[in-house]
Amino acid sequence: MFYNEELGKIDWIEPLKVPEGIRSCYYKYVCFLDSDLTRDEFKQRLREKGVNCGGEVYWPPLHLQPIYKELLKTRGGDFPVAEDVCRRMLCLPMYTQMGMDDAEYVVEKIRETLSKV
């Protein structure tokens, strides 16, 4: 897949690794920003270049959803790995009419944005 190949060549961003023997339907294309980057700021910079990233799969993480906070008394810091992963998660554009030119544009704008980090 194009995103996997191209993002693998770029510092500061990493595609989600799909385990061997598993096929993704790519309902969302998930990747992860380096922990030194701020997702909302990065998304805003991409938006300014015409790239709109979709909503993240899980934000806030499950244990910080209101019902679990109430029922289970969970709070920030209870699951630091989940919080870190969710904070760094980014969903790149992915839709049925998306062509290779669109995907190339997205990657180009990611490179431009990250070159200024």
Give the model's confidence band at 115: pLDDT under 50 very low, under 70 low, under 90 confident, else very high: very high
Residue with tokens 């993240």: 56
Class of domain 2-114: alpha beta
What is the predicted pLDDT for the residue at 26?
86
Mean pLDDT computed over 91-99: 93
Separation CA 57–CA 41 (nearest Å): 18
What is the predicted pLDDT for the residue at 54?
82
Residue ranges covered by each domain of the chain: 2-114
Q: What is the pLDDT of residues 44-62, one digit of tens each?
A: 999 999 999 988 777 889 9
Structure tokens given for 7 = 């993002």
Is the pTM here over 0.75, yes or no? yes
Q: What is the pLDDT of residues 10-27, one digit of tens each?
A: 999 999 999 999 998 888
Closest CA to 53 of 94, 3, 18: 94
Closest CA to 31 of 102, 103, 116, 99: 103
Separation CA 17–CA 6 (nearest Å): 14
